[in-house]
Amino acid sequence: MRELSPHELPEAIDRALTRTSILILPSDRDGAVTEVSPGKWAGPVPAPALILFTSGSTGKAKAVALSADALTTSARATERFLSGPGDWHLCLPVNHIAGFQVELRARLAGRAPVRAAAARFTAQSFAAEATTLLERAGDRPTYTSLVPTQLHRILEDDAATAAAARITHILLGGAAISPSLLERAEAAGLAIVRTYGMSETAGGCVYDGAPFDGVDVTITEAGTIDLSGPVIADGYVEIGADGAITPVESPALTVDEAGRRIMHTSDLGRIDSGVLSVLGRADDIIVSGGTNVSPHALESGLLPSWQKAGIEEMLVTWVPDEEWGRRIVALVRLADGGGGVGAEDPQESAQKLNALDHGMTGQLLPQLVFPVAEIPNRSIGKPDRQAAARIAADLIARDANTHTGELPVT
């Protein structure tokens, strides 16, 4: 096993695609990409080209094995969907499939990506890097891949927004995307392409609700999304102490009688006129007062009206409650001004915001609203709902202690 420096990664990608080595991405963004011999593969031939770890948003991270064919099929499908081979900007961590795919697409297109120099994404750094990308590209199309949190920051900065508007296409995924965010981006002239996919599908495989050629999307009786096609992972694996890589069976990844690999996701979905809408995760559903509440549906439905009241971002979570079982709580990041949210009682803030014209009926709305400096996210920008629940519980405890004169336990 050999650790690679960032400048060694492009040629290592070539070796992995020609099946002369296996790349292993680190489980966190601070780790190094490693390269091992295909001889470490203990499963059926051929060996995978890439092994990476899932985000762990629903539990322990899993190691996923992707073939060279799955990776290149995904990359070429992206080129066909967009405007052909072009110049890429990389501002996502390369240990996740979205960041790795930027490296791969750039390699296949014949030119290294413009890589983010700073560890922390800012609108100012994006503006500088996008300018470099545009100046270098000439007549070639330009692309970048973002998560919603990054797009929020870009739209808050005039220079970054102007630079983003000159990029040919901007892939946006990794987390739920609010309609209001898309409206702001469209008004600013940004060419956004919404992506849906995961590590097990070699990255995004559904763009703007339409699946790649050869990718089939079906909705199960339970309302969850199944994906099949040439981009699906070979399976999950375990990496032993001796470096041996062994396949692991899982009900999430199966093969049907026709030999098609199928990814059984936990995402809820709906297909209308051939267009897929992702409605959130089945395991995120909150049962409150005997009613199933989708945090994703609440966020998408409420945010357009809440933003007019000074709310920039929101994340719905819950806390234990004797009466309701689980009480719905919203964490919000305020825009400048904030509409008075945070200057009043959390329950009063919720009542004020819920009274706005959002058109939502028949659902439980947040009963408490707390402002936070940052919405909790995982490294790739996915909402961290487990962290949000802990933060909400802490804020409720501190609020109660403030009103009783007691000091919070730290």
Q: Is the pLDDT of residue 407 over 80?
A: no
Whether residues 312 and 243 share a domain: the answer is no
pLDDT at 409: 35
Per the listing, tokens 């790649």 go with 212
pLDDT at 53: 93
Note whether 367 and 359 are within 8 A (CB). no
Could you give the CA distance from residue 297 to residue 222 in angstroms, rounded to a whole number? Answer: 17
The last residue of a domain, from among 277, 307, 340: 277
Higher local confidence (pLDDT), 186 or 178: 186
pLDDT at 343: 60
pLDDT at 59: 56
Residue 217 lies in a domain: yes
The last residue of a domain, from among 227, 256, 277: 277
Contacts of 167 (CB under 8 A, 6+ apart): 89, 130, 133, 134, 142, 143, 144, 190, 191
pLDDT confidence band for 395 (50 / 70 / 90):
very high
Whether residues 273 and 301 share a domain: the answer is no
Whether residues 123 and 10 share a domain: the answer is yes
Residue 408 lies in a domain: no
The last residue of a domain, from among 277, 296, 321: 277
Residue 410 lies in a domain: no
If you average pLDDT over residues 172-192, what whole number do you get? 90
pLDDT confidence band for 290 (50 / 70 / 90):
confident
Element (H, E) at 164: helix 158-164
Q: Is the pLDDT of residue 410 over 60?
A: no
Whether residues 315 and 264 share a domain: the answer is no
Whether residues 295 and 263 share a domain: the answer is no
Q: Which residue segment(s) compose the domain that 169 sits in?
A: 2-277
pLDDT at 359: 78
Strand positions, DSSP E, 216-335: 216-219, 224-228, 235-239, 245-248, 253-255, 261-272, 275-281, 286-288, 291-293, 311-321, 325-334
Helix (H, G, I), strand (E, B) or coil at 87: strand
CATH number, domain containing residue 56 = 3.40.50.12780
Give residue-wise pLDDT tens across range 217-244.
999 999 999 999 999 999 999 999 888 9
pLDDT at 241: 87
Total domain count for the chain?
Answer: 2
pTM of this structure: 0.83
Q: Is the pLDDT of residue 391 over 70?
A: yes
Q: Is the pLDDT of residue 341 over 60?
A: yes
pLDDT at 379: 65
Note whether 78 and 101 are within 8 A (CB). yes
pLDDT confidence band for 37 (50 / 70 / 90):
very high
CATH number, domain containing residue 341 = 3.30.300.30
Note whether 69 and 52 are within 8 A (CB). no
Q: Is the pLDDT of residue 405 over 80?
A: no
Q: Is the pLDDT of residue 57 over 60?
A: no
If you average pLDDT over residues 15-35, what whole number do you get? 92
If you average pLDDT over residues 351-379, what whole number do you get? 85
